[in-house]
Amino acid sequence: MNFKTQRVAYPYFVVALLLFALQLVMGLYLAFNYFYTVPQGVVDLFPFSTARAMHTNLLVLWLLLGFMGATYYAVPEETQSELAWPKVAYAQLILLTGTGVAALIGFLFGWTQGRPLLEIPTTLDFLVVIGALMFLANVGVTMMRARNFTATQGTLLAGLVFLAAMYLFGMPFYENLAIDWYYWWWVIHLWVEGAWELVTAALMAFMMIQLTGVERKVVEKWLYVELGLFLFTGLAGTGHHYYWIAAPKYWLWVGGIFSALEPLPIAFMLIDTWRSMRKSKRPQPRLTWVYVIGMAVLHFVGAGLFGFAHTLPQINYYTHGSQVTVSHGHLAFFGAYVLLNLSFFYFAIPRLKGFPDGRYDERGGHWGFWMLSSGVVGMSLAMAVAGVLQTYLERVQGQPYIVAQSPIRFWMAIVFLHGLLALAGALTVIKHLLTLKPAPVAEA
C-alpha cells in the first residue's frame, strides 16, 4: 500500500465476504427445496421465490461491493494520487449495505419489484443510484485531478459508467412483457458480458502489472485487443436472449453467430494470463497464482464452454429455461466474478496490512480454494445432468413439468451435497482472508 486512502477498500472486502457466506446459505436452502418436500406451512411463510430473490441479490450486491473496494484500492495506485474523498467512500459503503439489507428484509415481507434479479423495489433503486453516483464521482474526480491517465484507468472507469448506466434500464415498469425482457437483458447480459468484463479486464491488467512486473505497454496493448473482442461478440451477442421473446427472426442469426464467438476473448484472456505468469519477474505466493489461473480456467469453462454448449438457437429451443441454464449460470459467475474478487482480495489485503512484498501465510488458503472450487464445479456438473434430463424428458418427450422433475430430484440432492462442500470451502477462505498473517520467517 503506497497511499493512505487505499485503506477504504478493506471494509468493502469485509462486507462483501460476509454477504458471500449468506448468499451460499440461501443457495443451499434453494437446492434443498428441489429434493425435499417442504411443508405447505413453511412454503407459505418463506417460499422458494423469496429465498431465490435473496440468493441472487446477495450475489450481485457482494460482487459489486467487491468491485468497488477493488477500484478504491487500484485507483490511487494507478493515478499516483490519494482518493479525492475517502469519507464519501465510507458513507457510500454504509448507504449501499443499508439499502441491500433493507431490500433483503423487505423481500421477507413481500416488498418486491417482482422481476427476477431486479427485485429491489423502485424506491430503494433510487438509493442504489445515489450510491453509484457517489462512487463514480469519487473515482472520476480522483482521476481528473491526477491527470495521469492510463488505458487501465480508462477501461475501469468506462466499465463502471457502463455498469451504472445499464442499471437504469431495469428500473421502469414495462407494460409489454416482451419489451420488459428486451431491456431486462440490457441490465443482465450487458453487465456480465459487457460492463463487468471491462471491469474484470481492467482489474486483471492492474494486478498483472503489479504482480509480474511485465511492462505496462505490453499488458495494455493486449487489453485493447481483449476488450475489442469482448465488446464485438458481447454487444450483438445479447441476441442469444432474444430468440423466444417475440422479437424478429433475425435475432436467431445474429444471436447465434455472435455468441458462438464469445468464447474467443475468454480463451484469449486465459492464454494472456498464462503467458504473464510465465514471464513474471517477481516471485509471488503460490496461492496468488492458484487463484488467478483458477479464475482464468473456470471463467473459460463456465462462461465460454458451458455458454457455447446451449447458445445456438437449434439447441437453445430445447434447453432454454431449464437446469442447463442454471448450471452455466453458476459456473460462469463463479469462474469469472467470484474468483476475480477473491483473487483481488488475496492480492490487496496483504498489501493493505503492510506485509513485506505482499507475502502472507498461505496455510488454510489452499484448502479453502480447492474445497470451494470443487464444490462449485461438482454442483454445476450435477445441475448439467439435471438439465439434460429435463431437456429430454420435458422438452423433447413432452412430459409435464412436474413429472419430468421427478428424476431430477436425485441430482439436486447431489447439488446440495456439493453445496455443503462449497460452503465449507468459502468459510475457510473467508476466515483465512479476514485473519491473514504475515508469511512465517524462513528458518535458516
Residues numbered 109 to 128 that lie near other proteins (CB under 8 A) are 110, 112-116, 119
Cα separation, 10 vs 3, whole angstroms: 13
Q: Is 231 in the site for other proteins (CB under 8 A)?
A: yes
Residue closer to other proteins by CB (options 100, 358) is 100
Interaction with other proteins in 204-223: which residues (CB under 8 A)? 217, 221-222
Judged by CB under 8 A, which of 409, 434, 438, 440 binds other proteins? 409
Residue 320 binding other proteins, by CB under 8 A = yes
Number of C-beta neighbours around residue 143 at 10 A: 21
- Cβ contact 383:309 at 8 Å: no
Rank residues 322 and 428 by Cβ distance to other proteins and give the closer one. 322
- Is 280 a binding residue for other proteins by CB under 8 A? The answer is no
User: Between 331 and 370, how does the x/- string for binding to other proteins read (CB under 8 A)?
Assistant: ----------------------------------------
Max Cα-Cα span within the chain: 72
Rounded to a whole number of angstroms, the minimum distance from the CB of residue 232 to other proteins is: 3
Q: CA 68 to CA 199: how far, in whole Å? A: 10
- Sort 136 into a burial class: Cβ within 10 Å, 0-12 / 13-18 / 19+: middle
Is residue 405 within the footprint of other proteins (CB under 8 A)?
yes
Q: Residue 268, interface with other proteins (CB under 8 A)? A: no
Cα angle 6-12-16, degrees, rounded to a multiple of 5: 145
- Closest separation between CB of residue 59 and other proteins, Å? 14
Torsion of CA 130, 135, 139, 145, to 10 degrees: 40
- Give the one residue of 2, 175, 356, 444 binding other proteins; rule: CB under 8 A: 175
The single residue among 60, 120, 326, 342 that binds other proteins, judged by CB under 8 A, is: 326
When the beta carbons of 252 and 372 are compared against other proteins, the nearer one is 252
For 393: left if phi > 0, alpha if psi spans -120 to 50, otherwise beta; the answer is alpha
Q: What are the cell numbers at 206?
A: 492492474
Specify the residue, 95 or 168, whose C-beta has the smaller distance to other proteins. Answer: 168
Q: Does 91 bind other proteins (CB under 8 A)?
A: no
Q: Report CA 158 to chain centroid distance, whole Å.
A: 18
Residue 234 CA to residue 156 CA, distance in Å, equals 17
CB-CB contact of 109 with 191 (8 Å): no
Report the nearest approach of other proteins to the CB of residue 203 (Å). Answer: 18
Q: By rule CB under 8 A, what string of x and - marks binding of each residue 131-170 to other proteins? A: ----------------------------------------
Residues present in the chain in total: 444
- The dihedral of CA 90, 94, 96, 97: what is its sign? positive
